[in-house]
Chains A and B, each alone.
Chain A
Amino acid sequence: MEVSNIIFYLLGALILACGVLAVTSRQIFRSAIYLLFCMMSVAGLYFWMQYEFIAAVQIVVYVGGIVVLIIFSIFLTHRVGKDLAEPEFKRTLFAGLASLFAFLLFWWVIKRNEFFGEQPSGELSVRRIGEEMLNYKQGGFVLPFEVVSILLLAAMVGCIVIAMRAQTEKN
């Protein structure tokens, strides 16, 4: 067994274990930390696939941004050391069964179909990503790039408007 395969299985086990713990842990802060490790392992998987730029984006945006934001909001809305309520047994059972059977169905479909032309492409240079992102010819990505930048601006303004305390009622 090659070393790269062993690394893949280790990363996969880490991703799945941390994912399961993140959705089942009764303490919300621990759940956020497990989510952090899960995101880090996914970044490791991107490194394993030699897509270093995506791995860096994953670490910067998910680990450095979203998880930190989630931890901040946990501190704003929870008392430290208070456990979450146990979910109803019926809900756990049916959600577990639904997820399990959906997973088995998908896995059966994946197993049945051969993927042909498995020729892993080589490394991905950041220079190419930049050139494609600002390419306005056929197959370029400049339009979604601009749309996403407007979306980010709208989300920023929207966050401030939603989270701002209404001052008029007080005065």
Chain B
Amino acid sequence: MEVGLTQILFLSTALFFIGMYGFLTRRNLITMLMAVELMLNAVNINFIAFNKYLWGGKLDGVFFTIFIIAIAAAEAAVAIAIVINIYRNFGSIDAEDADSLKL
């Protein structure tokens, strides 16, 4: 089968929902962060594929991807700082254990 935009969209959709499944099932903060990174990667693949196949000659999708990668890096750094702080305060990084804001 000739590979076109449809096949790439199938791939990125599947990757996005794999990330969503991981985000819903995991209860460890670091693995939840990893699932979010998978979802961001799926979005990046989408932007690049649309830029290549439907928006030739322009660079909007490429720039969206570059900015998403930059923001993902900032997000991962802040999230890991928060995770390390939670580990220091609660002794575990399970999302269920950090519940001191609950009534």
Verify if A170 is at the interface (C-beta below 8 Å from B).
no
Is chain A's binding surface mostly helix, strand, loop or mixed?
helix
Contact (Cβ within 8 A) B31 A87: no
Please determine whether B62 and A28 come into contact, CB atoms closer than 8 angstroms: no
Please state if A69 and B80 are interface contacts (CB–CB under 8 Å).
yes
Q: What count of chain B residues pass the 8 Å CB interface test?
A: 69
Taking chain B's interface residues, is the majority helix, strand, or loop, or is none over half, making it mixed?
A: helix
With CB as the reference atom, state the residue of chain A lying closest to B21. A99
Establish whether residues B59 and A110, one from each chain, have CB atoms under 8 Å apart when the complex forms. Answer: no
In the bound complex, CA of A44 to CA of B77 (Å) = 25
Choose from A4, A70, A91, A92 the contact partner of B3 (Cβ within 8 Å): A4
Residues on B lying within 8 angstroms of A by beta carbon are 1-11, 13-15, 17-22, 24-28, 30-31, 33-35, 37-38, 41, 44-45, 48-49, 51-57, 59, 62-63, 65-67, 69-78, 80-85, 87-88, 93
Give me 8 other A-B pairs in contact (C-beta within 8 A), A35-B37, A38-B41 excluded. A5-B1, A61-B70, A76-B84, A84-B28, A98-B24, A99-B20, A124-B59, A155-B75
Which 10 A-B pairs rank lowest in CB-CB distance, beginning with the nearest?
A23-B22, A121-B56, A95-B24, A155-B74, A163-B81, A99-B21, A162-B81, A159-B81, A103-B17, A99-B17
